[in-house]
Amino acid sequence: MKKAFAVTLGILTAIGGFVDIGDLVANALVGARFGMSLAWVVVVGVVGICLFAEMSGRIAAVSGRPVFDLVRERLGPRAGVVNLGASFFVSLLTLAAEIGGASLALELATGVNYLLWVPGVAFVAWLVMWRVKFENMERVFGLLGLVLVVFAVALWALGPDWGELAGQLTSPPQAEGAPTYWYYAVALLGAAMTPYEVFFFSSGGVEEKWTREDLSVARANVFVGFPLGGLLSLAIAACAATVFLPVQAEVETLGQMMLPVGLGLGKIGLALVILGVFAATFGATLETALSCGYSISQYFGWQWGKLVRPVEAARFHTVLLVTVVLAAALILTTVDPIMVTEYSLVFSAAALPLTYLPVLMIANDPDYMGDHVNGRFTNALGTFYMVLLSVVAVAAIPLMLATKAGQ
């Protein structure tokens, strides 16, 4: 009974934790412009994140080593430091976007300008990381993020033409050019497979001291939670496709992406969706900030984690403090948080192979994994994704320049 409870809780947390500012923005934006014609990318992204999250969780459980530890161990100090720089930059950009997203949600709830909320959000986020236990932190915000299910309810209440939505799956709108279509495909993939998710997931596994016995629970969380999170993403896209696509309105702010819920469910729905967006972005603020700390500490071999008191992981906590301050400062320059999100997605996509190649190699190394090395099917799929991610990484930045970031 207790185990069933743990599994359910884990799954619910994974659903809420899957959706962050990147998924919210990318899916609403794509739904409004391309209908459901990019839904297949969400599916590809969810399968990919399941695949690599499972591998990194298995590595963490069997060998007790988190992902960035292995990135350096396998790629060496030189390629490792390049990787660290890229991953840290992407995570910092994402962190800034998440802080901005949480502040925007507060603006929508109160009408007070989001810039005034930024210092408070950053401070509270830091306080939570300083004081709150890892497990509680993950659960509270994961479960609150689950409120975003209102998007699915709103979609049903809006009563879309389901045949029309299904038809969009295979036919992109004629008005958009091919480069823009592919640019947003890359951004959506970046949203579903953001590297910080595996840093966080595997470090969390090490922190919670997973053993081989916990593998089934971890797998259930990944294989059920992430796909359900993906469905939530699709519901967001479908809402935007139903309301905005027919009138050719493009989503450019966080407020606009919530509008379909207000139209479908009224004030209660709107209040819930604002709460859900806040919980999802605030939870992701914690995850990305911790990922920044994890990646640097694990590269240099410093003591990290929330299990020990801050005085015993002083360098790790200093990194957390500095990154949160840097990210908040970036948002306070009044740069548009939604634009920061879009850039962070494309740079994530460009950095994906750097993170996932070492994971794939270690998951095949019997020195670490013993009997738990990858099976044939996982390897075939993993190889396919490595090829795919390499292509995406090469194409991401040229596509961004060619389409002027999707304009």
Output the DSSP codes for 313-327.
GHHHHHHHHHHHHHH
d(CA 144, CA 280): 7
Stretch that binds other proteins, among 8-16, 68-76, 136-144, 281-289 (CB under 8 A): 68-76
The answer to the question of residue 318 lying near other proteins (CB under 8 A) is: yes
Q: Note whether 402 binds other proteins by CB under 8 A.
A: no
Restricted to residues 145-204, the positions that interact with other proteins (CB under 8 A) are none
397 binds other proteins (CB under 8 A): yes
Asked if 87 and 327 count as a contact pair (C-beta separation under 8 A), the reply is: no
**Residue 111 within binding range of other proteins, rule CB under 8 A:** yes
Is there binding between residue 253 and other proteins (CB under 8 A)? yes
Selected binder of other proteins within 252, 326, 393, 402 (CB under 8 A) = 252
Which of 225, 237, 145, 148 has its CA nearest to residue 184? Answer: 237
Q: Which residues contact 216 (CB under 8 A, 6 or more apart)?
A: none
Q: Does 309 bind other proteins (CB under 8 A)?
A: yes
- Is 192:48 a contact under the CB 8 Å cutoff? yes
**For residues 60 and 211, is the Cβ–Cβ distance under 8 A?**
no
Query: Any contact of residue 340 with other proteins (CB under 8 A)?
Result: no
Contact residue for other proteins among 310, 332, 388, 402 (CB under 8 A): 310
Nearer to other proteins, 64 or 119 (CB): 64
CA atoms within 13 A on the CB side of 337: 28
Which segment (8-16, 73-81, 144-152, 153-161) binds other proteins by CB under 8 A? 73-81
Token pair, residue 182, equals: 């592919």
Complex with other proteins: residue 127 or 169, whichever CB lies closer? 127
CB of 379 to other proteins, least distance (A): 4
Binding to other proteins (CB under 8 A) within 257-286 occurs at 258-259, 262-263, 266-267, 270-271, 274
Kindly give, in sequence order, each residue whose CB lies less than 8 Å from that of residue 176, ignoring residues fewer than 6 positions away. Answer: 33, 34
Residue 13 vs 72, nearer CB to other proteins? 72
